[in-house]
Amino acid sequence: MKRNISKTLVAVIAASTIAAVGATAARADQTNPKPFRVQVGAFWPNNGTIKDLTADTQFGGGAAYDVVSPKVGQNALPIGVYVDFGTVKKHGYDLSTVGGGVQGRYYFSPAESQTQPYFGLGVGGYNVHSSYSGSKDDFKFGGKATLGIETTSGVYLEGGYTFIAKAKLIDEPQTLDPSGATVDLGYRF
């Protein structure tokens, strides 16, 4: 089962990458020259058992590519692919989450504004990996909602919530909710 989940995750990431690279040629008529996004930040799981096993705060981040990328500004709706991750290790217990999927952002301000507030939604697949006395992978579907603000230089600050369906973790008798809040600092280029 673990190999099937890992193969599925690799397939999701590979398909996202192929779509992003393949779309580059189609971007010739697009007006936004900055389709790539990278970010680092923190993830706060909302499940008490997960916090007890690992930590209250996990290191997180991600990358994205806007396949459909109109010029950033009022009513702009870039749509693309993303890969997000979160990871923590405490007292020998490892927990990591890697997700990939499609996302869109809606910008509220005119393109001429120095700052661009936006709202984003994404949906995809997430692999929840845990290890302690052994290791376990559990592939789940999930999504995310974000609010952010981006400057004309491409720097952005984003907060949000990632929802992941309950997953089975190693050495835990019940399924646990790996969802939680995020805050990331990123750069669009």
pLDDT per residue as tens digits for the range 118-158: 999 999 999 999 998 889 999 999 999 999 999 989 999 99
Residue boundaries of the structural domains of the chain:
2-188
Share of the chain above pLDDT 70, in %: 81
**CB-CB contact of 101 with 79 (8 Å):** no
In tens, the pLDDT along 28-73 reads 444 556 899 999 999 999 888 888 888 889 999 999 999 998 776 6
Q: Which residue has the tokens 């600092």?
A: 185
DSSP line for 53-76: HS-S-EEEEEEEEEEE-PPSSTT-
Judge whether 128 and 98 are in contact, CB under 8 Å: no
pTM, 2 dp: 0.80
Q: Which CATH architecture has domain 2-188?
A: Beta Barrel (2.40)
